[in-house]
Amino acid sequence: MANLEPSAEVKASVLAFYDALGGDNAALDRLVSSADQALVIGTDPAEWLVGHATITSIIKAQMADMGGGFQFEAGNVQAYREGGIGWAADQPKLNMPDGSSVPMRLTGVFHNEDGGWKAVQLHLSIGVGNEEALGKELTT
């Protein structure tokens, strides 16, 4: 049987990632795995970012594009681990400078690498209703 346990350390990495998205480039560099297979899937269809250098450079450019003043607000981060692998899920909000917010969803896989939990795979999305996406209401 699997030995899955809640992980305060993986949760802390998710929260640190949210903070880094506010413009802390050094923290972002530390929080993304150095593995060539590291992957971030974003909300835009073109956001399929592979490898540490690509992930961090695109996220840094996007933070600059946003012009600052935004902040990710954690929902109820669920984080677990087994050995050196961890995963998390959350429903954060992206708070915008004008006071509006965008509800989002995040899932991620983390690896204990160089003494810290680093993102190997992250997926951020904005939920769209089935009727809007598929033209049909489905059971949820």
Domain locations in the chain as residue ranges: 5-128
What residues are paired with 32 via a beta bridge? 119
Overall average pLDDT of the 113-131 stretch? 95
**Mean pLDDT computed over every residue of the chain:** 95
Is 112's pLDDT higher than 70?
yes
> How far is Cα 12 from Cα 90, in angstroms, rounded to an integer?
12
Overall average pLDDT of the 110-133 stretch? 95
pLDDT confidence of 69, banded at 50, 70, 90?
confident
Is 2's pLDDT higher than 80?
no
pLDDT confidence of 1, banded at 50, 70, 90?
low
> How far is Cα 112 from Cα 10, in angstroms, rounded to an integer?
9
Which CATH number does the domain 5-128 belong to among 3.10.450.50, 3.40.50.300, 3.20.20.190, 2.60.120.10? 3.10.450.50
Q: Kindly report, residue by residue over 19-43, the tens digit of the pLDDT.
A: 999 889 999 999 999 999 999 999 9
